[in-house]
């Protein structure tokens, strides 16, 4: 499954740190796996009353967008970036969170200077305020039915 086809990314409240349109979360667009991850993270929540969603979040000159790919960490063993594609941006109790699909690195293509990635439907809830690495959303490209993200900088994990 490629990134562009892996998820259907599915506006009224204003948050002082954010700009854009916000709405109560649309539960019909959230599959059971995502619902379970949200319940595991937040505890007992009422999806219709406790969560707000948006497609873009602006915080400290950083723009987080649904379906964009971000570096959410660095692997401690080999210093490879950990890529995540934002599926949902949600707010619970005045705090924003990113629901990301943790993407698997297949290989680094030296001819294209890009990482070949696939989705394993491995989701996680990430705190955008704790991201310590590259803060720009990365574009992904479809080449010969494979998905690539171009990122050539070197990141180092400090454990």
What are the boundaries of each domain within the chain? 3-149
pLDDT at 9 over 50: no
Q: Is 61 left (phi over 0), alpha (psi -120 to 50) or beta?
A: left
Report the distance separating Cα 145 and Cα 123, nearest Å: 23
- CATH number (3.40.1710, 3.40.50, 1.10.3470, 2.30.30) of 3-149 reads 2.30.30
Q: What is the pLDDT of residue 156?
A: 55
Report the distance separating Cα 103 and Cα 85, nearest Å: 7
Q: What is the pLDDT of residues 44-99, one digit of tens each?
A: 898 888 999 888 988 777 889 998 999 988 887 888 889 999 999 999 988 999 99
Model confidence at 11, in pLDDT bands (50, 70, 90)?
A: very low
Model confidence at 6, in pLDDT bands (50, 70, 90)?
A: very low
CA–CA distances in Å: residue 17 to residues 14, 57, 69, 85: 9, 8, 21, 22
Q: What is the pLDDT of residue 15?
A: 37
Q: Which of 75, 62, 132, 79 is nearest to 102 (CA)?
A: 75
Q: What is the pLDDT of residues 13-25, one digit of tens each?
A: 233 334 456 787 7
Q: What is the pLDDT of residue 80?
A: 86
Q: What is the pLDDT of residue 8?
A: 27
Q: What is the pLDDT of residues 95-140, one digit of tens each?
A: 999 999 999 999 999 998 899 999 989 999 999 888 876 677 888 8
């Amino acid at each position: 499954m490629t990134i562009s086809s892996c998820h259907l990314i599915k506006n009224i409240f204003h948050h002082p740190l954010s700009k854009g349109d916000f709405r109560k979360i649309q539960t019909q667009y959230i599959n059971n796996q995502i619902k379970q991850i949200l319940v595991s993270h937040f505890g007992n929540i009422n999806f219709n009353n406790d969560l707000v969603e948006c497609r873009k979040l602006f915080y400290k000159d950083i723009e987080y967008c649904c379906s964009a790919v971000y570096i959410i960490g660095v692997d401690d063993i080999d210093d490879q970036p950990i890529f995540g594609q934002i599926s949902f941006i949600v707010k619970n109790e005045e705090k924003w969170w990113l629901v990301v699909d943790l993407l698997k690195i297949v290989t680094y293509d030296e001819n294209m200077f890009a990482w070949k990635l696939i989705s394993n439907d491995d989701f996680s809830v990430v705190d955008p305020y704790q991201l310590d690495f590259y803060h720009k959303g990365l574009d992904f490209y479809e080449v010969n039915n494979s998905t690539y993200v171009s990122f050539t900088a070197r990141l180092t994990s400090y454990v």
